[in-house]
Amino acid sequence: MLARPRPTLLLALSLPLLLARPLPAGDKELGQLLKAHDSGGLARRFAALVDEDPGAAAKEIPVAISRIYGKDADDYHATDRYRCFIRAARELSRIRSDAAKEVLAAQVMAGKEWPARAVALHAALQSSEMDGVQLALVAITDAAPAVVRAGAHALGHSKQAIVISPLVQAMEKWESEETLEKATKRGRKGVGEDERGRTWLSIRDALERLTGQSLHSAVAYRTYYDTHRGEIDPTKVDLSAERERSTGLGLFGLELTGRNIAFVLDISGSMMSSDALTPEQLEKLRRSTGVEGTDNLERRMMEDRRRIVRAKRELKGVVSGLPEDKNFNIIAYSTDVLPWQKVLVEGVKKNREAAVGFVESLEAEGITVTDWALQEALLDPRVDTVYLITDGAPTHVGLTGPGLPRDARELMQRILEETRAINHLRGVRIFTLGFEGAEEGFLEKLSEENGGRYVRIE
């Protein structure tokens, strides 16, 4: 059972009053820093305000975040907005005053602007003093996709079976009103509907984490929950365990999910390398006595194990099997970024066939501008899922000696930071797949921070 009850009726009735109280003379320094668009100064002021007046902090800091993401958004770089948001949530999570905590909870439930509700929720989820699960249950009923996604993520990690039914109800809401059909038909104009799609996926991912089942509709999850209600134990779910693919599609064993998908493929020179033969191939080679000869058979096997050959074969298979209700694009990269299309296209037969032809034409050469390729994928506002296949570290200069390229560590850090800034409220999932030689720590972190998974390609 949940540890604490829902917010009391008294608190619910008092929310408008809590948020309508006038600011105590307004925090002039906070206002000046907002006017100056000083993100560093704002971060320091957030901390000081929590120490000086927790009640005012609980009210004013979420409002400041609303300005940074609202009317002042164009005056802040995405990274600065992200840093302000994260710093605000962290400082607000330090609040201990009961009255201030009530104001913060009121922001989650009744804040005027969605950024205020989102930052207050993030703060509550980090606080040991507040019931983050109960507030997350409120958040998944919100109208703002970013708030719903944050709530769903928290509930997915709660390990509590009792939150499954409310999540299914939320999933039903985001499947309604022909959202998916509109997103398919209207293309880039359906950005609002695509927000719905990413929100639907965040709820689906939370349900998978709680049930261990990768299903693809609210009806399927409702049926599963009603049938297995007494057996479900989220604390025992193992997402790394082998499972039957409910979609029937996969990349190197990773089940393909998502409705608006960007496949990002490394075609740098290192992808011409061949991986070691499998035990089955070695045994076949050992037993070879045919006319072809052992040397020719080994050459053919090594060609089959070439990374670019394997990646193209997998990608062609996935693209050929895409259902028509999915939208997709392919972005190849080496020294330059080579998108197949400028934006996602429908998964109809003629597009699938053209995409297979594009993949067949790709050749491996050059260096590995992973940062530019990811940026290209995330530029399309419709994308909800990215699959990145690579075998090396990002670089703009290439190898000049043993070890990593000299710019690789800086680029990996920059990719992580910039992706956080772009994606922390957007919710695009990033799955990474790495051949031998890939920077696994970087790929694991990139996926972990963006709702995906890393898969090592053997």
Q: Give the model confidence (pLDDT) of 159-208 as tens digits.
A: 999 999 999 999 999 986 555 454 445 433 343 346 788 888 899 989 99
Q: pTM (2 decimals)? A: 0.71
Q: Are 69 and 81 in contact (CB under 8 A)?
A: yes
Based on the domain organization, do 146 and 128 belong to the same domain? Answer: no
Does residue 427 surpass a pLDDT of 90?
no
Residue 395 pLDDT > 80, yes or no? yes
Of the two residues 389 and 392, the one the predictor is more confident about is 389
Task: Identify the domain boundary among 139, 168, 188.
Answer: 139
> Are residues 187 and 70 part of one domain?
no
Q: pLDDT digits over 325-381, tens only?
A: 899 999 999 999 999 999 999 999 999 999 999 999 999 999 999 999 999 999 888
- β-pairing, 385-390 vs 429-434, is parallel
Pairwise pLDDT comparison (332 vs 129), residue with the higher score: 332
Structurally, the chain folds into a number of domains equal to 3
| Domain shared by 215 and 195, yes or no | yes
Q: Are 444 and 422 in contact (CB under 8 A)?
A: no
Co-location of 428 and 293 in the same domain: yes
Q: Are residues 34 and 173 in the same domain?
A: no
Q: Are 97 and 113 found together in one domain?
A: yes
Does residue 416 share a domain with residue 267? yes
The pLDDT of residue 181 is: 56
Q: For the segment 257-280, what is each residue's pLDDT rounded down to a tens digit?
A: 888 999 999 999 999 998 777 777
Whether residue 147 is found in the same domain as residue 134: no
| Mean pLDDT rounded to a whole number for the chain | 85
Q: Which residue has the higher pLDDT, 253 or 189?
A: 253
Which residue is it, tokens 């060609």?
303
* Mean pLDDT, residues 384-389 taken together: 95
Asked if residue 332 lies in contact with residue 390, where contact means CB atoms within 8 angstroms, the answer is no
Domain match, 116 and 85 both: yes
What is the CATH number for 364? Answer: 3.40.50.410
- 102/99 Cα distance (integer angstroms): 5
> What local confidence, expressed as pLDDT, does residue 113 receive?
94
Picking from 210, 241, 272, the residue at the C-terminal end of a domain is 241
Task: State the Cα–Cα distance between residues 402 and 194, nearest whole angstrom.
Answer: 44
Percentage with pLDDT > 90 across the chain: 58
363 within 8 A of 267, measured Cβ to Cβ: yes
The model's pLDDT over 302-324, given as tens digits with 9 standing for 90+, comes to 788 899 999 999 999 999 999 99
Q: How far is CA 72 from CA 34, 86, 111, 266, 419, in A?
A: 8, 17, 18, 37, 21
The more confident residue out of 372 and 9 is 372
Do 288 and 204 share a structural domain? no
Q: Are residues 304 and 426 in the same domain?
A: yes
**pLDDT value at position 289?**
60
Considering the domain architecture, whether residues 222 and 349 belong to the same structural domain is answered as no
- pLDDT confidence tier of residue 241, bands split at 50, 70 and 90: low
Q: Could you tell me the residue range of the domain that residue 146 belongs to?
A: 140-241
Judging by DSSP bridges, how do beta strands 337-339 and 327-333 pair with one another? antiparallel
Can you give the pLDDT at residue 242? 54
Domain boundary among 217, 241, 265: 241
